[in-house]
């Protein structure tokens, strides 16, 4: 091995990829991120864009006053019920396979919804849309985890993915108003068809196929989890209309909680559980799930209450109300992008604690609204403060929720993470809508309607601020995660992983293996042959994937390193001999 032909190596015996290969992989990673972010945006967009079109749909399709609610509830029911199953199915059946199938089903259901000529046809389409969206979103987040290596690349990807949550929620209101006013309500559904179909066709080209687990499906667990979550969402969605003490509310909620309790019992005894309970034993993940539930309540409640205030009190049209959220969207995306870089240096705890505190301040500011408030000082500025706080929180909360597990469980933790947001949002929305309606109803007789409505909305904003403020002590108490940056100079790429400080990894989660001690060989002329001499000796992960004992793996790795360094030493001897300088032999 001559000096002129030696190439730098990042691992023993493995040449560093060429710049062309690195460029190609970088382009592929960007393409995968754009695709997954587009799907996330489409799914979130679909949950809000339809709301603007509801009055028009009711008049054109012939829905009754009570029946039109099922255009929203049918979607929310299956979406919230199937997120957990959607994430786990990707682990067992192949994430990319499930992702592509879900996008195909979503495109078909959207086409049927756009062609609907009766209420029944549209409700069925919305139910299928919600189910396919749950599978698509859960596998999209798990593909982020499995496609992007831990470190700055994954931090950025999670930042973009999380930013789509706020962008989709705000853009849906604006886009829905434009479509209904200038085109047709049917294009609220048709818009999804080319986007979902294109994503399904491009996914096999842009997204590598992750490893697939054993297809052992926990049918009892899947059934009880789906039924339990579905009943819970159904009961909560009607709480504001029917009251919390009626059979239509309490019945489904209690039945759903019973089904979920049964699910936990089944999972504790199952050899192949749908949701292993060790997921919740890690303090970082458990705390992150609680915070995400509070985030869902705050986000859903903020958009719901703000939209009603702008339209019912300030008299905004749907289009103008949607445009009012543009500043919030911009600052939320900018905040999420900045935090994705900052989290490496600060860890998740200070960012989440600070972000949720800022969001609480913004919501308290919104509680000062009056029927005569101006848009800029009364609504826009406090919404910007809320957007900064939520943007600071989404990225570190998501990183905490999906950290510390093997790739084979990335779908599981992704499904639990999204389920926490959705169930938290359903609970929060039910509570806040009830608070607003109750406060409005108890205003003094003769109170003008704008003033009565404002009293209800502002009281609900106060409650929303309390809800999100609960995340501050949770973050300070439970979270200890500090994601690493991009792999440093001389670090093995596989070591750019998430380290947890002050926590015990749960059973089933990977622990940080010991690293191989450095090996040094000295040539006859006194030069030390290590990383400084052109051979880049890196730390190697201890592995038992080939069922060898750890000591054998370590010995074999050291032997390989010594052989490579010995070859380097002999190469130097040859160079010395060519100059008539014959050094002593380097011992083997």
Please tell me the distance from the alpha carbon of residue 336 to that of residue 392, in angstroms, as a whole number. 6
Mean of the pLDDT values across residues 150-168? 84
Please say if the pLDDT value at position 17 is more than 50. no
Q: Between residues 577 and 170, which one has the greater pLDDT?
A: 170
The predicted-structure confidence for 62-111, as pLDDT tens digits, reads as follows 887 667 778 888 888 889 888 888 888 888 888 899 999 999 999 999 99
Strand partners, 9: 15
pTM of the model: 0.73
Lowest mean pLDDT among 251-265, 296-310, 566-580: 566-580
Count CB neighbours of 166 within 10 A.
26
CATH for 28-210+274-482 is 1.20.1250.20
Q: Rounded mean pLDDT of the chain? A: 79
Structural tokens at position 156: 């950025």
pLDDT category of residue 526 using cuts at 50, 70 and 90? very low
Are 99 and 195 contacting, i.e. CB atoms less than 8 angstroms apart?
no
- The percentage of the chain sitting over the pLDDT mark of 70, rounded to a whole number, equals 76
Please tell me the distance from the alpha carbon of residue 563 to that of residue 531, in angstroms, as a whole number. 15
Are 68 and 58 contacting, i.e. CB atoms less than 8 angstroms apart?
yes
Count CB neighbours of 551 within 10 A.
9
Q: Where are the domains of the chain?
A: 28-210+274-482, 515-588
- The per-residue pLDDT for 214 is 59
Please say if the pLDDT value at position 284 is more than 70. yes
pLDDT category of residue 571 using cuts at 50, 70 and 90? low
- The residue among 104, 94, 87, 111 whose CA lies nearest residue 200 is 104
Instruction: Tell me how far CA of residue 19 lies from CA of 24, 102, 575, in angstroms.
Output: 9, 36, 29
The predicted-structure confidence for 334-390, as pLDDT tens digits, reads as follows 998 899 889 888 889 999 999 999 999 999 999 999 999 999 999 999 999 999 999
Please tell me the distance from the alpha carbon of residue 247 to that of residue 254, in angstroms, as a whole number. 10
Are 324 and 170 contacting, i.e. CB atoms less than 8 angstroms apart?
no
């Amino acid at each position: 091995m001559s000096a002129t032909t030696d190439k730098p190596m990042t691992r023993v015996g493995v040449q560093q990829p060429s710049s062309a290969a690195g460029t190609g992989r970088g382009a592929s990673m960007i393409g995968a991120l754009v695709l997954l972010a587009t799907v996330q945006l489409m799914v979130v967009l679909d949950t809000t864009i339809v709301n603007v079109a509801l009055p028009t749909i009711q008049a054109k399709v012939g829905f009754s006053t009570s029946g039109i609610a099922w255009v929203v509830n049918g979607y929310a029911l299956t979406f919230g019920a199937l997120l957990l199953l959607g994430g786990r199915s990707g682990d067992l059946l192949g994430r990319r396979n499930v992702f592509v199938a879900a996008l195909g089903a979503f495109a078909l259901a959207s086409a049927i919804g756009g062609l609907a000529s009766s209420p029944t046809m549209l409700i069925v389409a919305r139910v299928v849309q919600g189910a396919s969206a749950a599978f698509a979103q859960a596998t999209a987040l798990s593909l982020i985890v499995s496609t992007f290596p831990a470190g700055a690349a994954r931090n950025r990807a999670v930042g973009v993915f999380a930013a789509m949550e706020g962008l989709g929620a705000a853009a849906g209101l604006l886009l829905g108003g434009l479509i209904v006013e200038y085109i047709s309500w049917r294009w609220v559904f048709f818009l999804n068809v080319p986007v979902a179909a294109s994503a399904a066709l491009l996914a096999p080209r842009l997204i590598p196929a992750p490893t697939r687990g054993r297809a052992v499906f926990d049918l009892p667990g899947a059934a009880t989890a789906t039924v339990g979550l579905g009943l819970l969402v159904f009961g909560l969605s009607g709480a504001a209309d029917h009251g919390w003490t009626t059979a239509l509310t309490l019945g489904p909620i209690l039945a759903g909680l019973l089904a979920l309790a049964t699910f936990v019992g089944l999972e504790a005894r199952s050899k192949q559980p749908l949701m292993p309970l060790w997921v919740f034993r890690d303090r970082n993940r458990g705390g992150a799930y609680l915070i995400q539930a509070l985030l869902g309540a705050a986000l859903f409640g903020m958009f719901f209450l703000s939209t009603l205030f702008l339209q019912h009190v300030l008299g905004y049209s749907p289009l103008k109300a949607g445009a009012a959220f543009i500043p919030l969207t911009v600052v939320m995306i900018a905040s999420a992008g900045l935090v994705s870089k900052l989290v490496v240096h600060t860890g998740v705890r200070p960012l989440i604690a600070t972000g949720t505190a800022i969001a609480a301040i913004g919501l308290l500011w919104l509680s000062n609204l009056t029927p005569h408030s101006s848009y800029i000082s009364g609504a826009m500025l406090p919404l910007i403060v809320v957007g900064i706080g939520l943007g600071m929180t989404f990225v570190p909360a998501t990183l905490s929720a999906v950290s510390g597990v093997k790739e084979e469980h990335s779908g599981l933790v992704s499904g639990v993470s999204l389920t926490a947001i959705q169930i938290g949002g359903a609970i929060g929305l039910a509570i806040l809508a009830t608070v607003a309606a109750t406060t409005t109803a108890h205003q003094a007789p003769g109170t003008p309607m704008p003033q009565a409505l404002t009293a209800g909305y502002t009281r609900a904003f106060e409650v929303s601020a309390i809800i999100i403020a609960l995340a501050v002590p949770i973050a300070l108490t439970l979270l200890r995660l500090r994601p690493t940056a991009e792999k440093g100079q001389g670090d093995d790429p596989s070591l750019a992983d998430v380290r947890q400080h002050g926590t015990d990894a749960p059973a089933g989660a990977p622990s940080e293996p010991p690293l191989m001690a450095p090996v040094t060989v000295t040539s006859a002329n006194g030069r030390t042959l290590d990383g400084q001499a052109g051979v880049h000796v890196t730390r190697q992960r201890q592995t038992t994937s080939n069922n060898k004992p750890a000591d054998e793996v370590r010995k074999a790795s050291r032997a390989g390193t010594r052989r490579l360094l010995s070859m380097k030493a002999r190469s130097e001897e040859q160079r010395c001999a060519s100059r008539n300088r014959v050094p002593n032999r380097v011992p083997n």
